[in-house]
Each structure stands twice: as structure tokens, then as C-alpha cells.
Amino acid sequence: MKKITDRFLLGLIAGLGGNLAKEAVERAAIPLLGFDETGAKKAAGIFLKKKDLVSPSGKILGIIADHMIAAGLGITCVYWLTLMGKDHYLIKGAALGAAEWTALYGVASHLGATGIFPTSPKNGLVSFLSHLAFGTVKATIAVKLGDERLFKTNYLARDLENSNENDAGSRL
């Protein structure tokens, strides 16, 4: 299979794929836990008043905005993996998803970025878990579909490897 060599395109695909995982967790939590603050609803809250979120056009706007945000976060994920290396990508993806959840749903919401704030502990926890899924899946997609040349090796590991080789050579 031909791998994707463009970071921007790879990021779009990874972000949208990760968003599908986030939505799957959210949709499973709706009937199981009574979850009611989806990413699409929060994204719509950036543009609309709370009363307009449940309208048909409000729901469509929320879906579009949520996917656009996810695509952008997919692009940043690819650049993070380029910078840090793709080793341990599941952990890196989960950590990035958690950081994005904190920044977007915590800090930005508290500053008034969306009309959906504050949230309940149950909704916050489901949202956190859905963002862990988002992060791990988008990182996995990026690593599996991305060309090897997009990802640099981990600088610390390479430096350690070079150091060990130099030490072995100096002992001879």
C-alpha cells in the first residue's frame, strides 16, 4: 500500500478518523449513561446560543465544526509525531487527546468559548474518555498511513545510541 507523504493530508485523515472513534464512545454513552454533551454540541456552542443548539441547523453546524476542529487537531498530531518520533505512539496519542480535552473543554470552555459550560462530572468523564480514544486512534492512523520519511527518530534515543557506540569504540 502506498503511504501518505503529505503531513497536512495525513493529519486531516487522522483527525477525522480519530473523531469517528470519539463519536463512537459518545454514542455508546448516550443510552448507557445518559450522556448529553457531545463534541458536536460543544462545537456548535462556539457559534450559537444554548437554545439554538438542538435545532436542525444547530446540529448540522455542530457536526461540521466538530469535524473541522478534529481535522485541525489531526494535523497538529502529525507534526507532534514528526517532532517527537512515532515510537510509543499510543501513549503519545492518548496524552495529546487528554491535553486537547483539557485545553478545549476545560480552559477554553471556562473562558467562554462555548455555551456548554459548566458540565456534570459524568459528562466530563465520558468526554475525557472519548478524547483518549480520539488521540490514540488519530495517532494510530497517522503512523499506519504515513510514510516513514515523515517521522524523525527520537533524538534522545538516537543520541543515547550514538553515545553507547562511542563508548564501546573507545574501550577497544
Q: What pLDDT does residue 168 have?
A: 58
Whether 122 has a pLDDT exceeding 60, the answer reads yes
Mean pLDDT value across residues 7-15: 98
Backbone angles phi, psi at 3, to 5 degrees: -90, 155
Summary count for the chain: helices (H), strands (E)? 7, 0
Whether 117 has a pLDDT exceeding 80, the answer reads no
Q: Could you tell me the pTM of the whole model?
A: 0.83
CB 137 within 8 A of CB 17: yes
Higher pLDDT, 39 or 132: 132
